[in-house]
A and B are shown apart, each in its own frame.
Chain A
Amino acid sequence: MAELLQFVFSGLTVGAIYALVALGFTLIYKASDIINFAQGEFVMLGGMTAVFLTLGGISLPLAALVAVIATTIIGLALHRLAIEPAHGASPVTLIMITIGASLFLRGIAQIIFDRRFHSLPPLLAGDPIKIGGAAILPQSLVVLASAVVIVTLLWVFIDRTLLGKAVIATAANRLAARLIGVDTRRIVDFSFAVSAAIGASAGILITPIALTSYDVGTLLALKGFAAAMLGGIGSAPGAVAGGLLIGLFEALAAGYLSSSYKDAVAFLIILAVLIFIPQGLFGRAKIERV
């Protein structure tokens, strides 16, 4: 029982990160129908930038802030420099562009930073807290709490502000949104910026626990995408649920089945979802009109 609880704790912690990545995917997808493979690099850039800034002597809070802002700017640049010029391209072309961007960012990161693993001091230091025979790091609680805060903030924003409504309108029907005066280009800018910020924050939060390096982005992006698909792409609560579920499945599989196949879990889930329930758990099946 204690063992199970342990797996649940670690699964939920990493699942919270997947959830944030998935949320980033969903936000961009809703605003622009694009699957952004560079999402994982946002997480990597957040963590790595914060690490190197602190190594350079800057205090952690300031480093974190700068890291988030820098990554946000990169997110905006991604949209303006790589996505916008290709307007009208097919979904697959756009995916390949984002894959190219992801590789590019990864390649640049390994040169600017380095190829080693790095850590950050945790926000809440201290010994692991014992709950029901299992131990959970204080930082894990920070991760989970922060994820809740971020998701709530995003939800409140989308639901309660005018800009949020504009995002929903753009997501529902781009042309119609433009016709009523919504600057859809700005909305997509915004979605990229917010996704980058969320990703960067996630990166900074998880680095004290799971470390970071220049190439953590790829696997994160793929697992985050699996989470988004599991929840139903285009559904924000689905993304969060999907992220937590994948984190849980991974931890349980690693604990009870085989730890070396931990990474395979997310991919098996992707394939299973795409083949059997393409609309995901919370999505709606699309009816194609000819």
Chain B
Amino acid sequence: MIILQTDRLSIAFGGLWAVDEVSVAIEAGQVFSIIGPNGSGKTTLFNLMSGIYTPDDGSIRLAGEIVTGLAPDQLARRGLSRTFQNPQVFSQMSTLENVMVGRHRHERTGFLADLLHWPSVARQNYVTRDAALAALAHVGLADFYDRPAGSLAYGALKRLEIARALASEPTVLLLDEPAAGCNPVETQEIDGVIRFLVKGGITIVLVEHDMRLVMNISDRIHVLASGRTLTEGTADEVRSNAAVVQTYLGDSQETLRALD
């Protein structure tokens, strides 16, 4: 079943088409990666898919429903969540509280009840906290539950964001360069977390520069260049595609090696 698809999605900034007629169809339960050199429009595409930008042309469908132009919170309530390249962590709150916020769309108390602290609120707090602790455990951060989130190491911040997104029980999770700035050990941890998420039935859409991670984990890869689709296929198909290697020529040795 196609869970997320875009149809000729386009957006221009000041006359330049940052994303130009990009169409993708993502199957449920897949790990779908979007790659391309810098400036190819990957993050812009992500921002379009997560409702942060509104496209100038084209449409987006989530589980068959047209969601073009919906705001991020509306998409979140329909089961689509995302993480950010620069972790957008709630630094004044504890690690646990960060993940508790992830439970928001499943919490059932209203403003008045919260203000007056009805018994339902105390119960909700306990339920939320337990679910958040579980999510933290899944990414290996359970021991840091009461640390201020701003004090965590970079790799931990990335896992925290994932735990937070996980807590919202999404159907589709967009991961924006989860391995960016991570050392090989941390990248390996991210790999493990992603596999765990997929086992839980979540569809993962990945934007990533780390080619080794991408090749290891992706079911399908979509290659962008200058805002347009270059090609799409399995890891093997993509890495042996001459045009793909061409666009990455001039890129780091590591990337090219991973493409071999």
Contact = CB atoms under 8 A, between A and B. Distances in A.
B47 A290 contact: yes
B13 A290 contact: no
Interface in B21-79: 43, 47, 52
A287 B16 CA distance: 13
Interface in A232-290: 287, 290
Contacts of B47: 290
A221 B47 CA distance: 39
Contacts of A287: 13-14
Contacts of B52: 290
A247 B43 CA distance: 46
Interface string B62-106: 000000000000000000000010000000000000000000000
Interface residues of B, number: 6
Contacts, number: 6
A290 B45 CA distance: 12
Contacts of B14: 287
A279 to B, nearest CB: 14
Contacts of B84: 290
A287 B43 CA distance: 15
Contacts of A290: 43, 47, 52, 84
A290 B174 CA distance: 15
Nearest to B46: A290
A234 B255 CA distance: 43
A285 to B, nearest CB: 10
A217 B174 CA distance: 52
Contacts of B43: 290
A263 to B, nearest CB: 37
A287 B14 CA distance: 10
A175 B52 CA distance: 27
A290 B49 CA distance: 13
Interface of A: 287, 290
6 contacts: A287-B13, A287-B14, A290-B43, A290-B47, A290-B52, A290-B84
Interface of B: 13-14, 43, 47, 52, 84
Q: Give the top 6 A-B pairs by smallest Cβ distance, nearest first.
A: A290-B52, A290-B47, A287-B13, A290-B84, A290-B43, A287-B14
